[in-house]
Structure 1
Amino acid sequence: MSSIRNSDATVEKRILDAAAACILAFGVERTTMTEIARRARVSRPTIYRRWPDIRWVIAELLTVRIAGVLDDVPDRGVGREAMVDRVVLVAEHLREDEIVQSVIRNAPSLAMVYIAERLGTSQQILIDALAEAIKAAQVEGSVRPGDPHEMGAMCLLITQSTIQSAQMVEMLLDRKALNVELARSLNGYLAP
């Protein structure tokens, strides 16, 4: 049974890697299940057994990439400043992620679903991680009282806005300045 699960995970990884390659080669709007299947060396029904359509494949790809960034940027310790430093680094990684940025810039209808209409899996993962860090920082005394999940959701909104709109203000805020201002915003919001 374990080898079947490992095989499924390998196939899913190949499919998601192929989807990422297609997005980089053709853009989000021209990525097709046929091309993903060809690049992943699987049949289209193999993809359709896992995801109902291309939007679901792309959503899963984004979830894996965003959660992966959270895993790649290690916890920086307990306390508000350590948590904010980690959030700023995660945001910087996501601003530089070609797939995430391609979806934001080239598939606005898909991006808007997760920006304005519904909470996605990756966003919930980030809120949960933020809430856990906020709760620990509250105990430590560097974050004000309040519901950690509500505060985590607000931190997500602040950070998500920075990620999606950074290009708009890059003439005013370079990468370093943007990171400083994001940290200042989050520290000010969370301070006791």
Structure 2
Amino acid sequence: MRIFISLALLLVSGICAAAEPDVRVQLQDYYFDAARRGDVAMLDTFIESGYSLDTQDSKGYSALILAAYHGQSEAVEHLLAAGANACVQDKRGNTALMGAIFKGELKIARRLLATDCNPDQRNGAGQTAAMYAGLFKRVELLNDLSGKGADLNAEDPLGNSAARLANGEIRMPVSH
């Protein structure tokens, strides 16, 4: 399988404009599956072939977002070392850091905090990684986020802040 992918990657990279869309889609699927499973050998094949690491699927997920969300710390490390952008947002504006916090992947979240992303980067709902940490009671990360410069008092459109969420205060939309 790895030989097939290596050959396909060489073929696609050599004649990318003329490559069959099905081959590109299939390669992209292999890439994202490798990230989800933490298949570092397969990811290294893509990396060595010069594959675009920040490629996104139909939901905007990058391999780094998928690896972080699925707890694949070694895959996260390989992707970051190869130049994957930790600041990439999916179609809802969520980042790999937000996904790691949501899933309780604290080691991965701390690794992602060491990147050059804005700690107050917001998703489409106006939420920050610190708000996720507060909401999901990842209070041990709040100090790390604050140390990185995150504003724990920043509010989303509903008036939720990381500090309020950590205290169990959740403001919900008013239904009419």
TM over 0.5: no
Query: TM-score if structure 1 supplies the norm length?
Result: 0.30
Query: TM-score if structure 2 supplies the norm length?
Result: 0.32
Higher relative contact order (CA 8 A, sep 6+): 1
